[in-house]
Amino acid sequence: MSIPASDVLEPPRVGATLQALRQAQGLSLDELSRRAGVSKSMLSQIERNQANPTVAVVWRLANALRVELSELLGGERPAAPAIETVASHATPSLSSPDGLCTLRILGPIDLAGQFEWYELTVQPGGSLESAAHEPGSREHLSVLSGSLEVTAGGNSQVLKAGETARYAVDGPHSIRNRGKSNASALLVVLHS
């Protein structure tokens, strides 16, 4: 006797629930990996529904997240918090090859490639060189402290604290600190 394929139940997919719980608690994959004793790559595969965890792994994850085992297995997303916070240590950052520029990624990852925003810090002599983005893309740079030089479309402009530049980035472009003190800014990228 065979069981029709339509009657076979799939294991619960815990990926979306795991990701929502982790993000609601402001945990990075690294932090959850340390707490649960589960590798970061396995956590990533579970969150993308590329792997189904064993009962032992679900138990470790539930304990690390301080939730009931059934909450992970239920497959239902917990209600989104009214205010979602991201801890400072959980905010990802990138550095330029010279190490003199740091971009803290402030925007949610699900908007990457559409609308991105960053906190930019550039040390004296630092330069953030960028290749062309998609045609029609634009950047908005608002200097918070110090001064920065923006080069785009063959033109350069120095911005002081409080000033904002808006410019096309469908060609090579750069942001430089030619001053003697650190400069900080907010950088918004609007992809076409």
Residue ranges and CATH numbers for the domains of the chain are 5-73 (1.10.260.40), 92-190 (2.60.120.10)
Name the token pair of 151.
């080069």
pTM, full prediction = 0.59
**What is the number of other CB atoms lying within 10 angstroms of the CB of residue 174?**
14
Q: Which of the two residues, 112 and 134, has the higher pLDDT score?
A: 134
Percent of the chain scoring above 90 in pLDDT = 43
Q: What is the pLDDT of residue 185?
A: 98
Per-residue buried b or exposed e for 52-74, using 16+ beta carbons within 10 Å of the residue's own CB: ebeeebbebbbebbebeeebbbe
How far is it, in rounded angstroms, from Cα 29 to Cα 26? Answer: 10
Of 109, 114, 122, 130, the closest CA to residue 158 belongs to 122
- Give Cα 34 distance to the centre of its chain: 20
Asked if pLDDT for residue 9 goes beyond 70, the answer is: no
